[in-house]
Amino acid sequence: MIVMLLQLIIIGFFGSVIGLANLDFKLFSFCLSMLLTSSFVLYSLDQKEKQKKANNEVG
């Protein structure tokens, strides 16, 4: 799942760059939203893992 999210981040980044370079704002906004959404999901998973590790160390 993490690999898929990283692929979406990479595709979103390059797609938004290409969309902005070609002044295709539909492509730019779609790829930027995909980039931000997948980055947020990856960040949330990372925070959940850190919280789980902290709970295991305390308990």
What are the residue ranges spanned by the domains of the chain? 2-58
Statement: the pTM of the whole predicted model exceeds 0.85: no
Q: Which pLDDT score, from 0 to 100, does residue 59 have?
A: 62
In this structure, is the dihedral angle defined by the CA atoms of residues 27, 12, 32 and 16, taken in order, positive or negative?
A: negative
- pLDDT > 70 in the chain, percent: 98
Helix residue ranges, H only, 1-59: 2-21, 25-58
For residues 48 and 33, give the distance between their C-alpha atoms in angstroms, rounded to a whole number.
22
- Is the model's pLDDT at 24 over the cut of 70? yes
